[in-house]
């Protein structure tokens, strides 16, 4: 079974809740760290989806071209990396348009997909889905069916589903992977779709979760960030809740990814869901 691999393309200081107006002072490392991921994917012939932050596309246009030229799908991760429930609908639309234009101008292809910063499409920001559809987005991967302090809709669908607006417009929602616990354990979905969890779990546990999902005949979506394969990036003072996961076990990401690529087959959202996206676009 082919699964989806994706990368949220942002620099190390962009995913730790530092406002955009303070980003100027930090060392740029995204081209080097993304280069490591591109090299690894080339070795295993993985064509992924790269959700590029608009600010990254603006500062590093050559990186976006390099991703595109290597055969990966380029989608959007918004512009400023602000949590969606902290934005007004108008501001969200404005940032989304800007991020889509930046990427489309560089790749010459339409942007089909979106992932929210910190998976922040929650019960408080479901309005964002209508705006995404309105702006031409065909699939979204932002609703995480788990409990987490800053994101999650715990009872949302774990598997890809078509969601429909009141006007009848449809879009595909594809959550990253979770494993459903059930009785005698409490009913809850265990996150196992990458990011910090890939670094926290020993590899055997990560693989076990994904194999169990595969045995259920279900779809798997796994993601990482470029800074997770850059253990040397600067250590700065952050609130404990942020630093505890951000800097945890960064050395382990690249070797674990390599094993994942040996044990599972990954492609982009655009490829794995080609027929669903075709149906939605007509
Ligand atoms: Zn992000």
Domain harbouring 231, CATH code: 3.20.20.370
Cα–ligand 1 centroid distance for 121 (angstroms): 13
At 86-111, the pLDDT tens digits run: 999 999 999 999 999 999 999 999 99
Q: How far is the CA of 282 from the centre of ligand 1 (A)?
A: 30
Q: For the ranges 76-90, 176-190, 221-235, 256-270, which has the lowest average pLDDT?
A: 176-190
Tokens of 9: 């393309």
Range of the domain at 179: 2-281
Q: How far is the CA of 182 from the centre of ligand 1 (A)?
A: 30
Residue 184 CA to ligand 1 center (angstroms) comes to 35
120 alpha carbon – ligand 1 mean position (Å): 10
pTM of the model: 0.96
Furthest-apart CA atoms within the chain: distance in Å = 52
Q: Ligand 1 centroid to 117 CA: how many Å? A: 4
Measured CA to CA, the distance from residue 33 to residue 230 in angstroms comes to 6
Locate the DSSP E strands across 13-85: 49-52, 73-76
Q: What mean pLDDT comes out for the span 2-14? A: 97
Nearest Cα neighbor of 3 from 157, 200, 209 is 209
Residue 146 — very low, low, confident or very high, per pLDDT cuts 50/70/90? confident
Mean pLDDT over the full length of the chain? 94
Distances (CA, A) of 13 to 30, 188, 191, 201, 237: 10, 31, 24, 24, 12
Examine the pLDDT at 150 and tell me if it is beyond 80.
Answer: no
Query: Over pLDDT 70: what percentage of the chain?
Result: 100
Q: Check whether 81 has a pLDDT greater than 80.
A: yes
The total number of structural domains that make up the chain: 1
Neighbours of 99 (CB within 10 A): 27
């Amino acid at each position: 079974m082919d699964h989806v691999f994706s990368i949220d393309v942002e620099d190390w200081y962009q995913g730790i809740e530092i406002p955009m107006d303070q980003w100027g002072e930090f060392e740029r490392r995204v081209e080097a760290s993304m280069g490591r991921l591109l090299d690894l994917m080339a070795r295993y012939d993985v064509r992924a989806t790269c959700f590029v932050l608009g600010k990254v596309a603006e500062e590093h246009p050559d990186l976006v071209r390099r991703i595109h030229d290597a055969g990966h799908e380029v989608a959007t991760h918004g512009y400023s990396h602000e949590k969606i429930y902290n934005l007004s609908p108008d501001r969200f639309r404005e940032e989304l348009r800007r991020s889509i234009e930046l990427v489309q101008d560089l790749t010459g292809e339409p942007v089909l997909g979106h992932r929210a910063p910190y998976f922040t499409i929650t019960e408080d920001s479901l309005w964002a889905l209508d705006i995404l559809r309105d702006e031409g987005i065909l699939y979204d991967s932002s609703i995480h069916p788990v409990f987490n302090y800053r994101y999650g809709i715990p009872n949302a669908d774990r598997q890809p589903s078509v969601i429909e607006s009141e006007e009848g417009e449809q879009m595909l929602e594809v959550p990253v992977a979770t494993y459903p616990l059930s009785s005698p354990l409490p009913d809850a979905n265990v996150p196992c779709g990458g990011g910090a969890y890939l670094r926290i779990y020993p590899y055997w546990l990560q693989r076990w979760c994904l194999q169990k999902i595969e045995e259920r005949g279900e779809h798997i979506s796994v993601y990482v960030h470029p800074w997770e394969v850059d253990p040397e990036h600067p250590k700065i003072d952050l609130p404990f809740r942020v630093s505890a996961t951000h800097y945890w076990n960064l050395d382990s990401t690249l070797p674990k990814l390599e094993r994942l690529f040996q044990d599972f087959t990954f492609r982009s959202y655009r490829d794995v869901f080609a027929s669903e996206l075709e149906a939605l676009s007509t």
